[in-house]
Structures are given as C-alpha cells and as structure tokens.
A = this chain, B = another copy of it.
Amino acid sequence: MEKVKLGPQTLLYPMPAVLVGSKVAEKPNFMTAAWCGIAAHKPPAVSVALRKERHTLKGVKEQGTFSINVASADLVKKVDYIGIYSGKDRDKSQIFETFYGILKTAPLIRECPLNLECKVIHLLDLDSHTLVVGEIIETYISESCLTDGKADPEKVDPLVYTPGARKYQRLGDVIGKAYQVGKDATL
C-alpha cells in the first residue's frame, strides 16, 4: 500500500457534529463543533476544542459550565446554520428550546436527543484553540431514544461529520460487535 504525505492535517474519521452550549450575557448561545471527544471515565469527562475568538468560549470561561448536545440527523439544517453564523452577529438563543439542569448555567437543547451537562475542569491553552475539558455532571436523553432503559443509537440517529469532504452523514451498516468479532480471529 503506497503512502503519500499530505503534510500535517487535522484529519480524523468519523467526527461528531455536536452543539456546544454556554450562557453568554445571560443568553444561551450555541456553536457547532466536530472536534469533540471523551477524555476520561473517572471523572466522566469530555473534551472539545474551541477557537479562542469563539463567543461560546467566552461563556464557558465566565460560567465555568457548558453543554454538549448530540444532534440527530433531522436537525442538520439548524446544526449547519449554527456552524455558519456567530453568536456575535446573530442571536441563536431562539433556534432551539433550551432547558437547564443541575448546574443552572449550562443551556441544554431539548430537541437534541442526547445532552451532556458539564463543569469545566481544565482549559488547555493551545495556539489557535482552547481545549476545554469538562466533567460530565449529568446526561439527559430523550425518552423516545431509549430501548430497555438504555440509549439506543438507532433512535438517536446521530449526525456524523466527515471532514475534508465537509459532508454530514448518518451512521451506516453495522459490521460487527465490539469485543466479539476480534476474539480468536484468524489474523
């Protein structure tokens, strides 16, 4: 398999397309982020990279709280709209119905099937971005996305972001069970 060098690229497949929420000047504000991942099991933690000039980051720093909202595929237009326009220029507080949880200051999106309510535990200063690491204080899921009391990814129908091609996709064919297909595999 011949390899080609592309130079340093921020390429990873797949990426999520989540909405990050924070309270800025007493209003909920949201931005779209693909650079988001789980950071630890204990404490349950998530990391998200926010460009330093982001309006949302201002709120994250002021309040010390934020939310990660996993969008479903049917919200694609709103997610993209929120990704295109800044809260500095457009009031994005009315696009979704928001609610608050335990922390009181992290706006959560009711229409999004899965919501992580987070408290900032680290702000890692990189050059272009601040890597925000938050402890997940509570997880909310839409009742309609549960099967036997557990999150059902098919019902969540999460939006997938594909960088480079800049496309939104759905989850596709299931090709195997984890911790199973590799057992005693002939490699």
Contacts and interface: CB of A to CB of B under 8 A. Distances in A.
Contacts of A135: 8
Interface in A149-187: 150-153, 156, 158-162, 164-183, 185-187
Contact of A83 (B133, B159, B175, B179): B179
Interface residues of A, number: 105
A112 to B, nearest CB: 9
Copies of this chain, how many? 2
Interface string A66-84: 0010100100111111111
Contact of A179 (B10, B166, B181): B166
Interface of A: 1-16, 18, 34-49, 51, 68, 70, 73, 76-84, 95, 99, 110-111, 114-116, 122, 124, 126-129, 131, 133, 135-144, 146, 150-153, 156, 158-162, 164-183, 185-187
